[in-house]
């Protein structure tokens, strides 16, 4: 039977080192922390209009998010990404960034739909220690944007957010587009031109089976290879060095500013080098996006135990991380939870 809710405790591992190592030898150094599952959009590839939110009382407090971030840092996590749902809806986001900014991560990033940014907020976040922002934008066509996001927020608002993030030095600004066949795959070249014009890192993401509408099928996926071929019809791309755990294959333009990257999560899974750990807004520890194995650390945090106990809980959960997903293969079953809950 498949799991629907987080289990109370992960299987005990023999791991005792101050690191998060799984049973396949991978070390988790990248924490994605969701601070809300709420959103002001209903993107067709992510959230259905009648999505059921987690009960408010199940969400962690600011102190609990910061405590977990601190503990994860002590366990060797170097990068922290704050995500959601839409993290800018989280009322304590400014305080959270201030407090995690003091922990000493090498890199702190935020993923947002870019609707609730302001120059002041971006500046404040930068001063708090936020390094960079990733903004989701799947179309440059104002009408299509309404259809994809199922919201009337004008396209200009998001474009202005890209500028605000750049002006505040939250760079490199990345713009994420989930490319879906027959919906926005005719805009790949426009996005390449956009990357040049705005001097940003444009990330083309393969559509993953994480949508609550269950519209995903292999036929709806445009592969990274196909996207790159489209761009190379017009532009010369130069391969860049990706880090060892990079999820994207990155390129710069031979003759201009801006970069493009392709996230081939479906066609060329990067599970073998995965260094990511996810903690959901309600304290669910989720070592793999595609495995329903997950454990709730919330009651552990609330039971008055020392940080050492929480550390061991996280070590055990990471140790049990599954080897990888089989998206695109016959035996593949989409996970119960969707991207808006899991935190992209």
Residues forming the site for ligand SAM (CB under 6 A): 39, 45-46, 83-84, 86, 111-113, 136, 176, 178, 205, 207-208, 210-211, 339-340, 344
Q: Is the dihedral of CA 293, 298, 299, 303 positive or negative?
A: positive
Minimum CB–partner distance for residue 338 and ligand SF4 (Å): 8
Q: Decide whether 177 or 310 has the Cβ nearer to ligand SF4.
A: 177
Minimum CB–partner distance for residue 299 and ligand SAM (Å): 26
Which segment (68-76, 84-92, 210-218, 291-299) binds ligand SF4 by CB under 6 A?
84-92
The answer to whether 133 touches 172, Cβ cutoff 8 Å, is no
The answer to whether 136 touches 164, Cβ cutoff 8 Å, is no
Q: Decide whether 145 or 298 has the Cβ nearer to ligand SF4.
A: 145
Binding residue count for ligand SF4, defined by CB under 6 A: 13
Q: Decide whether 21 or 339 has the Cβ nearer to ligand SF4.
A: 339
Minimum CB–partner distance for residue 70 and ligand SF4 (Å): 26
Query: Which entry of ligand SAM, ligand SF4, none binds 207, CB below 5 to 8 A by partner kind?
Result: ligand SAM
In the beta sheet, which residues pair with residue 30? 79, 276
> Is residue 188 part of the contact set for ligand SF4 (CB under 6 A)?
no
> Is residue 340 part of the contact set for ligand SF4 (CB under 6 A)?
yes
Q: Which of residues 18-57 bind ligand SF4 (CB under 6 A)?
A: 39, 41-43, 46-47
Q: What is the DSSP string of 219-273?
A: GGBPPHHHHHHHHHTT--EEE-PPPTT-SSEEEEETTSS-EEEEE-TTTT--GGG
Torsion of CA 186, 190, 191, 192, to 10 degrees: 120
Minimum CB–partner distance for residue 221 and ligand SAM (Å): 9
- The Cα–Cα gap between 141 and 299 comes to 45
8 Cβ contact list (under 8 Å, min separation 6): 295, 296, 299
Q: In the complex, which residue's CB is closest to ligand SAM?
A: 344
Query: Which entry of ligand SAM, ligand SF4, none binds 83, CB below 5 to 8 A by partner kind?
Result: ligand SAM
- The Cα–Cα gap between 326 and 324 comes to 7
Q: What is the DSSP string of 83-125?
A: ESS-GGGSTTHHHHHHHHTTTT-SEEEEEE-SSS--HHHHHHH
> Is residue 84 part of the contact set for ligand SF4 (CB under 6 A)?
yes
Neighbours of 29 (CB within 10 A): 18
Placement of tokens 């999560």 in the chain: 265
> Is residue 113 part of the contact set for ligand SF4 (CB under 6 A)?
yes
> Is residue 87 part of the contact set for ligand SF4 (CB under 6 A)?
no
Query: Which entry of ligand SAM, ligand SF4, none binds 47, CB below 5 to 8 A by partner kind?
Result: ligand SF4
Q: Are strands 237-239 and 249-253 parallel, antiparallel or unpaired?
A: antiparallel
Instruction: Name the phi and psi angles at 209, rounded to 5.
Output: -80, 60
Minimum CB–partner distance for residue 5 and ligand SAM (Å): 20
Which residues are near ligand SF4 by CB under 6 A? 39, 41-43, 46-47, 84-86, 113, 136, 339-340
């Amino acid at each position: 039977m498949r799991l629907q809710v987080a289990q109370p405790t992960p299987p005990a591992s023999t791991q005792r080192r101050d690191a998060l190592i799984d049973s396949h030898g991978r070390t988790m150094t990248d924490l994605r922390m969701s601070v809300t599952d709420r959103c002001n959009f209903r993107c067709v590839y992510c959230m259905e209009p009648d999505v059921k939110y987690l009960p408010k009382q199940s969400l962690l407090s600011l102190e609990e998010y910061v405590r977990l971030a601190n503990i994860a840092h002590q366990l060797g996590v170097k990068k922290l990404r704050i995500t959601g749902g839409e993290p800018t809806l989280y009322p304590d986001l400014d305080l959270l960034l201030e407090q995690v900014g003091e922990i000493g991560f090498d890199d702190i990033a935020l993923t947002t739909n870019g609707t609730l940014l302001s120059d002041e907020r971006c500046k404040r976040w930068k001063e708090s220690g936020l390094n960079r922002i990733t903004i989701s934008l799947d179309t440059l066509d104002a009408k299509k944007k309404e259809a994809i996001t199922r919201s009337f927020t004008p396209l200009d608002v998001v474009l202005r957010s890209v500028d605000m993030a750049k002006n505040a030095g939250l760079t490199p600004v990345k713009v994420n587009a989930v490319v879906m066949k027959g919906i926005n795959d005719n805009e790949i070249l426009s996005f390449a031109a956009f990357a040049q014009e705005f001097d940003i890192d444009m990330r083309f993401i393969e559509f993953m089976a994480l949508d609550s509408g269950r519209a995903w099928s292999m036929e709806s996926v445009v592969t990274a290879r196909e996207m790159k071929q489209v761009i190379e019809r017009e532009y010369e791309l130069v391969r860049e060095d990706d880090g060892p755990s990079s999820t994207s294959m990155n390129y710069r333009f031979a003759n201009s500013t801006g970069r493009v990257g392709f996230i081939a999560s479906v066609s060329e899974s990067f599970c073998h080098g995965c260094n990511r750990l996810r903690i959901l807004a309600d304290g669910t520890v989720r070592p793999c996006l595609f495995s329903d194995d997950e454990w709730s650390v919330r009651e552990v945090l609330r039971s008055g135990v020392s940080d050492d106990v929480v550390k061991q809980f996280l070590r055990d959960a990471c140790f049990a991380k599954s080897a990888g997903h089989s998206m695109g293969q016959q035996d593949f079953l989409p996970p119960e939870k969707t991207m808006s809950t899991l935190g992209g």
